[in-house]
Chain A
Amino acid sequence: MTEFTPVIGLEIHLQLKTRSKMFCASLNGSDGADPNTNICEVCTGQPGSLPVANREAIEKAILMGLALNCEIAEYSKFDRKNYFYPDLPKGYQISQFDKPICGKGEVRFEVGGKECRVSITRAHLEEDAGKLIHPVNSDYSLVDLNRAGTPLLETVTEPDFTSPEQAKAFLQHLRTLARYLGVSDADMEKGQLRCDANISMRPHGSSALPNYKVEVKNMNSFKAVEEALTYEIERQSAELAEGRKLATETRGWSDEKKVTLSQRSKEGSDDYRYFPEPDLPVLHFTREFVETIRSRLPELPAAKRARLISEYNLPEKLAGQLVEDKFLAEYFEAVVSELSEWLSVAGEREPEKLKALVKEAANWCAGIFTELLNAAGIAAGESKVTPENFAELLKMIEKSEVSKTAAKAVFAEMFETGEDPSNIVEEKGLKQVSDAGAIEAVFDKVMAGNPKWVADYKAGKTQVAGSFIGAVMKETKGKANPQVVNEILKKKLE
């Protein structure tokens, strides 16, 4: 039986984060605005209105293009893509046809710890359409033009992906890049990042492109992209195994049914009657201009990760987790700088101590801090916890002033109120107890209440030590110094 390999290419639309829309002065970004309130004569296609290209959008497109290692065009232009639809007020979309702003490129990214590369075909600028609203139980649709004219960067990849995981990982990488560059929030759920995929199957070992391709649309999350492509691989493989021919068509992913459904066959190609947009002059980019924009490129995730590993000795995975979110990585480094300042002021020049503290900071950032940020839906920089307070808390742990367990509660409180950790520890009486006498009393109480544990331990089942420590911690509300508890345990039971 013939084995098949998937051939996958992606078309990604990224809404650019600019002050105004692509071709007019209406504000870009209408989250929560009433329908048709963020509009003007240009983005509603009033007769006589004319577009003017948004410089910020052009610069951001080039910045993104540079991050994708694309060739930046010396000469680029806009074209009209003509078709009728109620969400398209002018009856044409201003897009780019044969002279995209960003040409061929190449991106390296990681999938499951392995490096992968994909070629970029092109990335071009265009305007978004409006939104259609279909009220239930009615025989009409409504049009909201708030979104019409939002700048979009459409990136097209070569059909280089051979698995859904790769496609998903690339898409996530693109999101990370967009956020690093500040060109887009790239939130898939908000439609700021949208992805269509072209997928077909070819015999294993073959390098020719199959004579059909299926375009999959309506994938509104990273998970949906992976699921839809996995589904298509199974569906197409089964069809081919039965000797059936597959046709070029567009299919839509149904998140409820977990299947793709045929939307329309695409045997004849659409004729959009592209022609150069006469209302916009051609764009010329000098080398100096492109270099000026290149100089704005920040440290990109791969470089940042490598640096975190070499500079702070962080494990690869932890460093990877941190750089996934630019703001978190920046925050982490701010905490590190507080910590090293503290150590140098305290006159402690032990590199081992700083290393341990930095690793602890990384764990906290990638762990509880990320959880809290995600739950609150905010970025690291927007949190009420200042890097200074964050570092302060880590110092208190290091100095045994608060137990790790109690510190988590303290941190949650800091996140909520933005208060100083020492104040919270003071107020809530969470200061760590290292007084052996006091802890011993609690320990005795626990021993009395759990004679089975005592017997088990003495019979050699030393793993019950954890239960002892847990119980002591519970009794002391997490305040007991675990090291002291351990010492008492050994003294009493061995």
Chain B
Amino acid sequence: MDFTELTIASAGKLLVEKKLSVSELVNACLERISKLEPKLHAFILVAEDKAREQAEMAQKLIDRGEADSPLLGIPMGHKDIYCTRGVETTAASNILKGYVPPYSATTVEKLEKAGAVSLGKLNCDAFAHGSSTENSDFGPTHNPYDITRVPGGSSGGSAVAVAASEVFFSTGTDTGSSIRLPAAFTNTVGLKPTYGRVSRYGIMAMASSLDSPGPITKTVEDCAYVLSAMAGHDPRDATSSKRPVPDYASFLGQDIKGWKVGVLKEFFSQGLDPAVEQVTRKAIAELSSLGAKIEEVSLPSLEYALAVYYIITPSEISSNLARYDGIKYGFSVEKEESSAARDLLEVYERSRGLGFGAEAKRRIMIGTYALSSGYYDAYYKKALKVRELIRRDYVSAFEKYDLLVGPVSPTPPFKLGEKADDPLQMYLSDIYMTPINLAGIPAISVPCGFVAGLPAGLQIMGPHFAEEKILQAAYAYEQATQFYKIRPKL
């Protein structure tokens, strides 16, 4: 048995059949982590003791024949912006170094209740600001298909840990691309659910009106299992939906014959790498051969999406990051003996000045500006209006089409450092993904082949709360192509 070929589905079967114990599985993952981490740096913190404790509990349930979740005994990792009670949670930022949350995110609790075993906290761009995981204050994560390249971001650690078989699935968050881009860059499956489908409670906010927590897995089937466990109403998140959660896995294996699939014209614009375009077109042809009716569709408002995104997001960020003030928790100059502040203002200025990285500061500056009186109407208020137009464009497109498709990233994974000093180039990596967040709809990145040995993803978008449709199509495509089987050589 090749360990790296195991999925949640296949490993779960072995566990229930007692051909494998949870601790064997956990140990195999921990061994892999200690072997690969020096190269990849997917983890910020490995919680070995806690993992073994949880593994024992999961084994007891299996031994008593009480296994009732496909996630029971399955090793996972959380993006380090998911609060985990008693386990340091840093958002990959110096300003939260040493912060131990007094509570756990709703999703963390749900997954633990399903019996999944957390191996630790995964690297990301600090506060999820970025598209390469280079903005982590604790060093970048490397792409397992080419360690000189980025894994995408911001949930880079989450994607790499899955791609490298250090865990079987991970949690991520997607505010503008942060699940889909790293999934596309690492040949994994990443789903950004509908806004409100998965609770945000306990997940450090980036842009509250866009943040969508979701899973990263090796396969579409695994994605369905994890999403079923994560989704659902949370009374502690007033923006979470009360709609019932379907059994996503039950939709897999049904065909997509006759489905109308729109190809987004604006996603094949200038700046799309020709090789990426080629694999994407090939993937669309595959959908056609699976019986889908393909048509080109244009949503003119998409032109404004990135601009709107980069007003709304920093505005919300500037407010959401205000709580990191050196007073209550995390980094404070007050604690640094050599640099005691003279007054309150200096505590704020120096704690935040030293604690935040360049990208957080950039976004705080832009957002503060956009919300200032005299500018609010021209920027934030106008952005909200355009956002509504984008949302309506999608809603009316879905009156005609079952699904929309396009590429995830305009380019293959780029070199570490290549865009690090050019924020605008970095922001453009997200051009095909941010509109989805603005509209609040769900979208998946599913492996669709390789460009010069580097993975690419096909983006499948669906109507609000139609995750099952996306999964059904993604599964059909995945089973026909099987790119997920191409594991990185490590």
Contacts and interface: CB of A to CB of B under 8 A. Distances in A.
Interface residues of B, number: 45
Of B99, B105, B329, chain A has the most CB atoms within 10 Å of the CB of B329
Interface stretch (A40-48, A151-159, A319-327, A342-350): A40-48
Contact of B371 (A41, A53, A82, A281): A82
A281 B239 contact: yes
Contacts of B256: none
Contacts of A45: 323, 328
Interface in B315-329: 315-316, 318-319, 321-325, 327-329
Interface in B321-360: 321-325, 327-329, 344, 348
Contacts of A279: 205, 208, 238-239
B198 interface: no
A47 B96 contact: yes
B7 interface: no
B309 to A, nearest CB: 14
Given A41-B102, A47-B99, A273 B239 contact: no
Contacts of A47: 81, 83, 89, 91, 96, 99, 101, 204-205, 323-324
Interface in A74-89: 80, 82, 84, 86, 89
A92 to B, nearest CB: 5
Contacts of A41: 101-103
B236 interface: yes
Contact of B202 (A49, A92, A275): A49
A278 B440 CA distance: 13
A448 interface: no
Contact of A91 (B99, B323, B371): B323
27 contacts: A41-B103, A45-B323, A46-B103, A47-B81, A47-B83, A47-B91, A47-B99, A48-B201, A48-B202, A48-B203, A48-B204, A48-B205, A49-B103, A52-B235, A80-B319, A82-B322, A89-B328, A91-B325, A92-B322, A269-B373, A271-B372, A273-B318, A273-B373, A274-B376, A275-B315, A275-B316, A280-B239
Task: List the 7 shortest-distance A-B pairs measured between CB atoms, nearest first.
Answer: A91-B322, A278-B209, A273-B371, A278-B208, A48-B202, A47-B204, A48-B83
A3 B148 CA distance: 82
B314 to A, nearest CB: 12
Given A46-B103, A50-B201, 15 more contacts: A41-B103, A44-B328, A46-B329, A47-B81, A47-B99, A48-B81, A48-B205, A82-B322, A92-B319, A92-B322, A273-B373, A273-B376, A275-B316, A275-B319, A281-B239
Interface in B91-149: 91, 96, 99, 101-103, 105
Nearest to B211: A278
Given A49-B202, A53-B238, A275 B376 contact: yes
A273 B374 CA distance: 10
Interface string B292-325: 0000000000000000000000011011011111
Given A48-B202, A275-B380, A82 B239 contact: no
A45 B327 CA distance: 11
A269 B202 CA distance: 35
A44 B323 CA distance: 10
A84 B322 contact: yes
Contacts of B101: 41, 46-48
A82 B319 CA distance: 7
A53 B237 CA distance: 10
B228 interface: no
A45 B323 CA distance: 7
A447 interface: no
A82 B371 CA distance: 10
A255 to B, nearest CB: 26
A90 B323 contact: yes
A426 to B, nearest CB: 60
Nearest to B85: A41
A49 B237 CA distance: 9
A250 B59 CA distance: 66
Interface of A: 41, 44-53, 80, 82, 84, 86, 89-92, 143, 269, 271, 273-275, 278-281
Given A92-B322, A275-B315, A275-B371, A52 B83 contact: no
Contact of A89 (B103, B316, B323): B323
B200 interface: yes
Contacts of A274: 371, 376
B202 A281 contact: no
Contacts of A275: 315-316, 319, 371, 376, 380
B357 to A, nearest CB: 16
B368 interface: yes
A91 B95 CA distance: 15
Contacts of A53: 238
Contacts of A91: 319, 321-323, 325
Nearest to B240: A50
A50 B323 contact: no
A137 to B, nearest CB: 18
A47 B89 CA distance: 10
Contacts of B318: 82, 273
A295 to B, nearest CB: 27
Contacts of B329: 46
B301 to A, nearest CB: 21
Given A47-B323, A48-B205, A278 B316 contact: yes
A45 B205 CA distance: 12
B86 to A, nearest CB: 13
Contacts of A51: 238
Contacts of A271: 372-373
Contacts of B316: 275, 278
B323 to A, nearest CB: 5
A304 to B, nearest CB: 39
B160 to A, nearest CB: 23
A46 B236 contact: no
Contacts of B325: 84, 86, 91
Nearest to A83: B322
A273 B238 contact: no
Contacts of B209: 278
A140 to B, nearest CB: 9
Interface string B357-400: 00000000000100111001000100000000000000000000
B236 A52 contact: yes
Which of A45, A143, A274, A281 gathers the greatest number of chain B CB atoms within 10 Å?
A: A45
Contacts of B376: 273-275
Contact of A46 (B81, B83, B207, B348): B83
A278 B102 CA distance: 24
Nearest to A281: B238
B237 A50 contact: yes
A258 B99 CA distance: 47
Interface string B418-440: 00000000000000000000000
B96, B323, B373 interface centre (most CB from chain A within 10 Å): B323
Contacts of A89: 323, 328
A171 to B, nearest CB: 31
Contacts of B103: 41, 46, 49
Nearest to A276: B384
Nearest to A90: B323
Contacts of B344: 86
Nearest to B237: A50
Contacts of A52: 235-238
B367 to A, nearest CB: 9
B327 A143 contact: yes
A255 B344 CA distance: 27
Contacts of A280: 238-239
Contacts of B208: 278-279
A275 B372 CA distance: 10
A51 B319 CA distance: 15
A281 B242 CA distance: 13
A13 to B, nearest CB: 22
Contacts of A92: 319, 322
